[in-house]
Amino acid sequence: MALVMPLLVRAKEKLFDRLVDASSRLDLADLSGKILGCHCDIGAAHTCSGPEWVKQFYVTFPDAVIDPDLHEKNFPTKKRKKGQAAAKRPKKPTGLVYRTPQSHPQLRWPPDNKDVECCTIFLDEAGRGPWVSAMSVVAVIRLMQPLTRPVDPRERVQGIHAAFFPTVFQGFDPNAEPVPLSQIALHDSKVLKEHEREKSYLQLLHCTEICYWICHVTHTQIDEMGMAKAWRYGMQTAVIRAYQLSNRVATAQLVDGSTSVAIEYEHTPTIRTTAAEEKADSHHRLVAAASILGKVSRDRVVTLEAEEAKLIHPDYEAIFKDKKGYGSGAQCPQRKLIEKGIYTRFHRKSFNPLRSYLERVVGGGS
């Protein structure tokens, strides 16, 4: 052992001799996927986290930077002989790339946990913070016995105008083959890209292994009740409907966030426990499913509302379609419009800055 230790020390010293100033070298984090090579089946080097030892080395030495020439020194490219044709590089995937549980480790979940998923109602919401439109609350539970065919989503939603149904549920085919839950890319809806969320959303609509309820709490209801009460109303409504539609077998409910929902013993007599968990959509796939159903359905509604909003002011088209009604900062375009008294009927009057503007106008008028 005494002979081995000096060798390890010298090896470590040689390693650090290669660590150089960050201003002229490549950060070690960029080695993942791009320099060491992506190990994903789909070649997604921009999302691959690289081999395990790279991540562990970067955790151990967070400030380390490494000579970008090391890759060439360790893995030199073969020189072509005179007159030899250059090797063809593999073609990069064209079009949109869809990550799946089979192709990307981040989207894989632990072994099947059917016992828990069949007796727990999982909840999440989307659109709590925007200045416009509804908040979407979704409850999901797994069924003991899968259905024989997909259920029409129009029978599993409330708070969305019937005229919006063709767009909100565009792509749903009642005669399509059911999609197994294990094949759907599920994660925090912010981790998935927009086109991946859209695909997962349609797959969830065609999944016969789950029962869900989508409750859109309108901006009018939010103004009348206040956000705290509106949030509880949406959660309790979604729980009760999902409970009733899933043969009343649930014994627990789990909410994504820091606040749990009170148990409605009158309507859900078998539910005995309620809990809240931060980042639950990263730890429970049915919370992730609720997150995707809520976000995509709300996004589609807000996009439809943009057609009317742009008639109030052209800038509202991008605010609704791209920002989905979110606003922040003193220089936010939406804030500037509201401060000039330009707002739509979809705006939440109980939210600042519109609330402050209305109080100022009413106060000034009196």
30-67 pLDDT, tens digit per residue, is 444 444 444 444 444 444 445 555 556 556 666 555 55
- Backbone dihedral region for residue 171 (phi beyond 0: left; psi -120 to 50: alpha; all else: beta): left
Give the pLDDT band of residue 76 (cuts 50, 70, 90). Answer: low
**Interatomic CA distance for residues 283 and 256, integer angstroms:** 10
pLDDT at 19: 46
pLDDT in tens, 263-318: 989 999 999 999 999 999 888 999 999 999 999 999 999 999 999 999 999 999 99
* Rounded mean pLDDT, 184-206: 90
Which residues are CB-neighbours of 117 under 8 A, at least 6 positions away?
Answer: 141, 142, 286
- Within 201-350, strands assigned E span 210-217, 252-256, 273-277
pLDDT at 361: 87
Q: What is the pTM of this model?
A: 0.74
pLDDT in tens, 162-188: 999 999 999 999 999 999 999 999 987
pLDDT in tens, 313-366: 999 999 999 999 999 877 889 999 999 999 999 999 999 999 999 999 876 543
pLDDT at 216: 98
pLDDT at 52: 57
User: Does residue 92 surpass a pLDDT of 70?
Assistant: no
User: What interhelical angle do 194-205 and 285-312 show, nearest 10?
Assistant: 110
Average pLDDT, the chain: 82
Domains parsed from the chain with CATH numbers = 12-69 (no CATH), 105-301 (3.30.420.10)
